[in-house]
Amino acid sequence: MKYLKSIFALFFVMLLGHMTVSAQTTITGDIYSSTVWTLSGSPYTIANSIVVFPGGSLTIDPGVTVIFNSGVSIDMRGQFKAIGTPTDRIYFTSGNGGPNMGAYQGIVVTGSAYAKMVQMAFCNISYAYNFMRLMYSNGTYTFNNCYFYNNHFGLGDSPAAGTVSVDSCRFESNFLGVNQNYPGTITVSNSVFINNTNGANADNILNCTFANNTLIAAQPWKTMQHCEVYNSNLGVFVDMVDGTTLTNNYIHNNVTGIELKRYYYGPTVNFSDNKICTNSIWNIQYDYNANGDISGNCFCLSDSASIRAKLRDGYISPSYGVLTFSIDNACSAGVTYVEPVTANKAMTVRVFPNPMCDHATMEFDIEEGHVYSIDVTDVGGRLMQRLQGITTGSVQVSRNNLTPGMYYLKLKNESEVLYTGKLLVE
């Protein structure tokens, strides 16, 4: 009898383990009260567009995966919180196989006195049209250590009068990472924008890196400081009017370094201590018809003729004003560019399609001289697969012995775990 009880107990434990692996929740109805999506119910599939009504709220626990069906959205009229951890990130992705940019709509924060707060941290967001569209004024919205990949807009539109903080995030392969259309206050700091069509336009851009953006990397409305911008088509587009600051940036190896729409030289405008060098066509493209003084910036050139050849101003066409400058090829004024504090190495990993049927591709940035391995474990920690001796940044994970459910991927080098993320098997 005791033997039979032991067998039944073992069977029950195995059943619970199987249920944990394959647990999933389909969301079809609106939310009217405080609601928490927990790890035990993950993944959560949003089957159709839903509303979080005033008085309601949605909290998403660490480790949860949220899957949006094609074209669906969340109308957020209540409060929203999705705070993961460095080792238990929250994932927002598309349910389409082989998803593309814009596969689902995303989250819209609309006009409601209850929608005053959005908090997101350690989240991976991919394949949305406009993942977070902030339409309500007087709110406070924070995004920390999030990774936005292959969205049309990562964060699109700002509130008419709200405060948006984006810190230590990575925006990669989006059409536009951060888009400020209205006169709110968006501050982007310590973040990376890489391989986007457009990087960011925002009030304040501080201590950020922009690389390989194919149209406009950065468009500050008020302040841009301590940033590096390189290998982009247009590094910085800026309208230097009253209250605008562009200082201590390193802008190099773009097609055009800076496009100055206007330049109101005066006590409330600060355009100085920038290192603007080796941009292939123009270091500065000047669009305004009044003269301007850009002394105090460095162009890494030792004679005025060479500097002048990289300025598009009144010497090129009488339609533009003439820029005067100083020669400081040693950049003695100093550029206090600071290496941005960015999200950890997990931010550079992509897994697709996820959920997978037969196989998934895992892509990540490699460091020369290292050998990597990937462990696939179930939610109970049991090792299901191990891929070893990896020296390239693209690896195929096959289904093999994986039954439908949720698994963990661990990417390691010789000494440490670099990434932990989820893999869903259909």
Instruction: Tell me 231's DSSP state.
Output: S
Distance CA 425, CA 422 (A): 10
Q: Is residue 108 part of a domain?
A: yes
Q: Is residue 107 part of a domain?
A: yes
Picking from 208, 229, 251, the residue at the C-terminal end of a domain is 208
pTM of structure: 0.78
Our count of domains for the chain comes to 2
Residue 369, pLDDT score: 80
Q: Is residue 1 part of a domain?
A: no
Q: State the DSSP H helix or E strand holding residue 10, giving kind and residue range, or none if neither.
A: helix 2-22
Q: What value does the mean pLDDT take over residues 100-125?
A: 85
Q: pLDDT by residue (tens digit) across 44-56?
A: 999 999 999 988 9
Picking from 150, 175, 208, the residue at the C-terminal end of a domain is 208
Q: pLDDT by residue (tens digit) across 312-350?
A: 999 999 999 999 998 876 675 555 544 444 443 344 677
Contact 164, 141 (CB under 8 A): yes
CATH of residue 178? 2.160.20.10
Q: In sequence order, what DSSP letters do the residues of 359-418 get, joined into one string?
A: EEEEE----TT--EEEEEEETT--EEEEEEEE-SSEEEEE-TTPPSEEEEEEEE-SS-EE
Domain that holds residue 357: 350-425
Distance CA 281, CA 287 (A): 15
Q: Please count the other Cβ atoms lying within 10 Å of the Cβ belonging to residue 65.
A: 25
Q: pLDDT by residue (tens digit) across 135-158?
A: 766 778 899 999 999 999 999 765
CATH of residue 361? 2.60.40.3080
Q: pLDDT by residue (tens digit) across 362-409?
A: 888 787 788 999 999 887 678 899 999 999 888 999 999 899 888 888
- Which residue in this structure is represented by tokens 């032991």? 6
- The contacts of residue 4 (CB under 8 Å, 6+ apart) are none
Picking from 208, 242, 274, the residue at the C-terminal end of a domain is 208
